[in-house]
Amino acid sequence: MNELNAFVTRETVDPGEEGALSGATVAVKDNISTRNLRTTCGSAMLAEYVPPYDATVVERLLGAGATVVGKTNMDEFGMGTTTETSAFGPTRNPADPDRVPGGSSGGSAAAVAAGEADLALGSDTGGSIRCPAAFCGVVGIKPTYGLVSRYGLVAYANSLEQIGPFAPTVAEAAELLDVIAGVDERDATTRAPRREGESYAAAASGDVEGLSIGVPAELVEGADERVIETFETALSELEAEGASIEEVSLDSLSYAVEAYYVIAMSEASSNLARFDGVRYGPATESDGNWNEAFAAVREAGFGEEVKRRILLGTYALSAGYHEKYYEKAQDARAWIAEDFDSALSEVDVLASPTMPVLPPRLGESLEDPLRMYLIDANTVPVNLANLPAISVPAGEAEGLPVGLQLIGPAFGEETIIRAASALA
């Protein structure tokens, strides 16, 4: 099944130990550091980069007995929604090879959907786990900010991103979350919300009796009719099993895409400054002129989308524009977080289609970056508010997978896992 191009590097790392994941194969997104195993971030800049250490999540996987089977393809540095911005070529969707698998963790989702790995890890800055999970018909969880260590994750936009699991079922995704979650002294943003002896896997009971689900009108309006129909059928299934459904409204959500892209690009422009041909990246011929050498390696090493974001992010942070863009985006972020807080004080979880569209055909969205940014409308608000969310298969439309997203309160992973487990 090489033609899917789900992996940038296929290499097996055997676990040193026995544990909860003994016998399971896990594919790891290529922006998560693996000791002695090439980690490219989907970029020509890091085509030869071999990290000297494992990310905390990789240590935990191997410590739990999992076998790593390779590093998965992704949009360059996580910047994209289709896995087409990779320097290693696009990944195809196992449900329809003419379509994209979603992104940026498209390789991880495709590997699990095609059975090339039992489980996978991805990262989600603005939807990069949930989008490909939805498009490939598997389960993906974006944990609450601070639940999973980011040590060893190559940063795109630190204040927004988390590593999280992919699996065929909610219960298996929860088992993988049990292994990777928890405090890490090497990431000061990590927290330990679980009480002794609790497990996320145990929450996957399928019992939604008495659960209240709010559906934000802003996240349904404007979606593809076929997506809405599949979403509503899945909601009625949850209702038939004892959940109650009500419509809610969060006015702030209409500003989420704009706020997200200003913040994500600003952080990216700063994070990617380290790729300068000295610390990272191929060395170039130069006559000692630092500016020229720096420009040459970045010209050759970065793709078009990454360059666009560095330019826009640098602009948004520059003197004179900082207040106009970056600070406004931070205000919108705070408003969105408040809106979610008040909605989630009325209902247990919020539900929406994960993606407002069916998986695009290969090549379709590359010509129009703005249109590509807009299809992130339902996923980016969750990262801006630091909340947990899961994408679970809701059914199919025209033979293509449709995902249902459930959003919970901070560290409310148990609740979204319980609700989602009624569907898959």
SS3 state of residue 358: coil
> Of 211, 214, 209, nearest to 246 (Cα)?
214
Q: Is 104 a catalytic residue?
A: yes
Q: How far apart are CA 40 and CA 48, in angstroms?
A: 7
42, 51, 78, 106: residue in contact with ligand GLN (rule CB under 6 A): 78
Does 126 bind ligand GLN (CB under 6 A)? Our answer is: yes
Considering only the stretches 10-18, 78-86, 395-403, 411-419, report the one whose residues sit in contact with ligand GLN under the rule CB under 6 A: 78-86
Does 90 bind ligand GLN (CB under 6 A)? Our answer is: no
Residue 36, classified by CB atoms within 10 Å of its CB into exposed (0-12), middle (13-18) or buried (19+), is: exposed
> Of 282, 241, 262, nearest to 420 (Cα)?
241
Does 124 bind ligand GLN (CB under 6 A)? Our answer is: yes
125, 144, 378, 405: residue in contact with ligand GLN (rule CB under 6 A): 125
Considering only the stretches 126-134, 195-203, 223-231, 271-279, report the one whose residues sit in contact with ligand GLN under the rule CB under 6 A: 126-134
Q: Is 266 a catalytic residue?
A: no
State the nearest-atom distance from the C-beta of 222 to ligand GLN, in Å: 18
User: Which is closer to ligand GLN, CB of 77 or CB of 294?
Assistant: 77
Q: How far apart are CA 249 and CA 219, in angstroms?
A: 9
Q: How far apart are CA 140 and CA 312, in angstroms?
A: 30
State the nearest-atom distance from the C-beta of 11 to ligand GLN, in Å: 24
| Cβ-based neighbour number of residue 209 at 10 Å | 8
Per-residue contact string for residues 326-365; x = within reach of ligand GLN by CB under 6 A: ----------------------------------------
Considering only the stretches 11-19, 65-73, 89-97, 123-131, report the one whose residues sit in contact with ligand GLN under the rule CB under 6 A: 123-131
User: Which is closer to ligand GLN, CB of 231 or CB of 261?
Assistant: 261
State the nearest-atom distance from the C-beta of 156 to ligand GLN, in Å: 6
Residue nearest to ligand GLN (CB): 128
Q: How far apart are CA 133 and CA 148, in angstroms?
A: 19
Does 79 bind ligand GLN (CB under 6 A)? Our answer is: yes
Q: Are the beta carbons of 125 and 386 closer than 8 angstroms?
A: no
* Helices assigned H by DSSP within 34-147: 56-63, 106-113, 130-136
The encoded tokens of residue 174 equal 């929860």
C-alpha angle 87/90/92, rounded to 5°? 160
Per-residue contact string for residues 268-307; x = within reach of ligand GLN by CB under 6 A: ----------------------------------------
List the beta strands (DSSP E) in 179-233: 212-216
181, 211, 264, 387: residue in contact with ligand GLN (rule CB under 6 A): 264
127, 143, 164, 381: residue in contact with ligand GLN (rule CB under 6 A): 127
* List of residues 6+ apart from 239 with CB closer than 8 A: 245
State the nearest-atom distance from the C-beta of 277 to ligand GLN, in Å: 24
Considering only the stretches 73-81, 106-114, 189-197, 248-256, report the one whose residues sit in contact with ligand GLN under the rule CB under 6 A: 73-81
Q: Is 128 a catalytic residue?
A: yes
Give the CA distances from residue 337 to residues 23, 290, 325, in Å, rounded to whole numbers and listed in that order. Answer: 40, 42, 18
Q: How far apart are CA 124 and CA 337, in angstroms?
A: 18
Q: How far apart are CA 141 and CA 124, in angstroms?
A: 9
State the nearest-atom distance from the C-beta of 227 to ligand GLN, in Å: 18
- The β-bridge relationship of strands 244-248 and 212-216 is parallel
Q: Tell me the catalytic residues.
A: 29, 104, 128
The residues binding ligand GLN (CB under 6 A) are 78-81, 104, 124-128, 156, 264, 376
